Structure 1
Amino acid sequence: MPLEIIRIPALTDNYIWLVHDPASGDTVVVDPGEADPVLAEAAARGWRIGQIWNTHWHPDHTGGNAAIKEATAATITAPAAEADRIPTADRLVAEGDTVMLGDHAATVLETPAHTAGHVTYHFADGALLFPGDTLFAMGCGRLFEGSAGQMHANLQRLAALPPETMVYCAHEYTLANARYALSTEPGNAAIADRLSEVELARMNGLPTIPTTIGEECATNPFMRAVSVAQFAERRAAKDAFPG
């Protein structure tokens, strides 16, 4: 049976993902920045939360760990390289490790740059990706603790996944990202069309996530950067872009 995935808006522009396996009844929370909306959503659906998966240490991705763990006895999985910054973690994972949701296996990919130990969770069997703050719709994370070379390599690796792979990003940044993308590639009709779609969605209060790897390869200026130098130039320009 396919996994059921619920988007939970949180904080200012975060998305927390509640992922449920109907066959086993297992449920995992990905990057809970806060606890209350997660616990309420799970209770409303009659789902028991057994796990939390963190992609990185930032408080808007881990702030709900302790309260959810206290309420549910969930096991917390977090990147080994950030163990000292995620004290609630029960299991530490690194490149190539596997985490399970029922019979569904997700592989841990190390994707450092936004933070030094950032990881991404990839369900190959269901073509699902939870990249935290590495990959956004039409964007990527800022380079707080890593290099342009690392992030460029991350994005090229993710770009090689099947184009139908669904990408469950952790923030609703798409409108600002799309505006920047069009300024970078003004002749890209796919970007112009997507900007129009995103503007309409946001005007109507609708989310723009999830996205797909195929959409990102066509419209994400960071994933489309052909070299580390071009990526670095675009990342610096986006950091200064007025929005």
Structure 2
Amino acid sequence: MWSYRHQNFTVHQFPALKDNYIYLIDVHNSETLIAVDPAEAVSVSHYCNEMGVKLTHIINTHHHWDHTDGNKALKQKFDCLVIGAADDAHRIPELDIPVSEHAPPEIAGLNIKVLELPGHTSGHIAYLIDDALFCGDVLFGGGCGRIFEGTPAQMWSSLNQLAQLVGSTKVYCAHEYTLPNLRFALTVDPDNKALIERINHDSQARMDGQPTIPSTIALEVATNPFLRPLNRTFCSHYAKHAGFALNATLVFTDIRKRKDNF
């Protein structure tokens, strides 16, 4: 387990299943402990017992089973509250509190904003807590989620929303996909020095048994191929090479199609 201290809470991160990450948000000066997207109950229970803290809340970013499969067992064991998107209420197991951009959850006095980010799924949301972004499967290290229920335009809009966050915001996504994503990124953006530096850094981290996550919004904007269309020079060069008009949505859509077939 890896731990990252923020001003009002500490984030504990640990792997689950094949390549998931589960996060426990331990709120300072409180008995509140929040699990983010518990893919399974066993590992969450283990770390709760190890920490000697009772799980009080679950927050889900979307309904996919590898983000919600632990909900039922954890609720039965800890009597915790399950929180998720109002637009996805019928698909999130054991949901107690539906939330939205205009109705964020109230937990232990934390400053929690809900960001509505359709694309990967129609009801996908993220939670921005101070300078920590829990973004599920919308934004990954060097990548973004597949578009299952939304449209490319929706996904591009959602990614744009995340790109506007403060650059130092920590990105806590739900999967360790970074190195494969960066290998693809190099085929799209081979002259990007920041990308090459990131590949070297993150490759060494994985060799050392360390996660590549969290990253930051600034790092993603500089190196993530799905955010690079925000850079006019990159966007113009890509559009010209691909043979279509200068349009960031079209560039993003083409890159997403290329990644689907990579």
Q: Could you state the TM-score of these two structures normalised by the residue count of structure 1?
A: 0.96
Deviations 1:41-71 (A, max 9, x none): 0111112210000000000000000000000
Q: What letter matches 1:194 in structure 2? A: R
Contact 1:28–1:101 (Cα < 8 Å) also in 2: no
Q: C-alpha separation between the residues in 2 aligned to 1:17 and 1:118?
A: 18
Give the corresponding residue for 1:232.
253
2:59 matches 1:53: yes
Q: 2:105 aligns with which of 99, 106, 110?
A: 99
3-state SS of paired residue (1:98): coil
Give the corresponding residue for 2:223.
219
- For structure 2, which runs of at least 5 residues remain unmatched after alignment? 1-6, 231-247
Q: What letter matches 1:36 in structure 2? A: V
3-state SS of paired residue (1:178): helix
CA shift, 1:121, in A, is 0.4
Give the corresponding residue for 1:62.
68
Q: C-alpha separation between the residues in 2 aligned to 1:100 and 1:28?
A: 12
Give the corresponding residue for 1:142.
146
Contact 1:27–1:101 (Cα < 8 Å) also in 2: no
CA shift, 1:134, in A, is 0.4
3-state SS of paired residue (1:225): helix
Q: C-alpha separation between the residues in 2 aligned to 1:128 and 1:93?
A: 18
Q: C-alpha separation between the residues in 2 aligned to 1:190 and 1:216?
A: 10
Contact 1:14–1:172 (Cα < 8 Å) also in 2: yes
Q: How does 1:179-218 map to 2 (within 5 A)?
A: 179-218=183-222
3-state SS of paired residue (1:100): coil
- For structure 1, which runs of at least 5 residues remain unmatched after alignment? none
Deviations 1:194-225 (A, max 9, x none): 01111111122211000100111110110122
CA shift, 1:101, in A, is 3.2
Q: C-alpha separation between the residues in 2 aligned to 1:145 and 1:85?
A: 14
Contact 2:141–2:213 (Cα < 8 Å) also in 1: yes
Q: C-alpha separation between the residues in 1 aligned to 2:258 and 2:58?
A: 35
Contact 1:113–1:147 (Cα < 8 Å) also in 2: yes
Q: 1:88 aligns with which of 76, 90, 94?
A: 94
2:133 matches 1:129: yes
Q: Could you state the TM-score of these two structures normalised by the residue count of structure 2?
A: 0.89
Q: C-alpha separation between the residues in 2 aligned to 1:8 and 1:23?
A: 23
Please list every run of at least 4 consecutive aligned residues from structure 1 whose deviation after the TM superposition is greater than 4 angstroms: none
Contact 1:96–1:109 (Cα < 8 Å) also in 2: no
Deviations 1:98-143 (A, max 9, x none): 22332212111110110110000012xx311000000101110000
Q: C-alpha separation between the residues in 1 aligned to 2:146 and 2:76?
A: 32
3-state SS of paired residue (2:39): coil
Q: Relative contact order: is structure 1 or structure 2 higher (C-alpha 8 Å, sep ≥ 6)?
A: 1
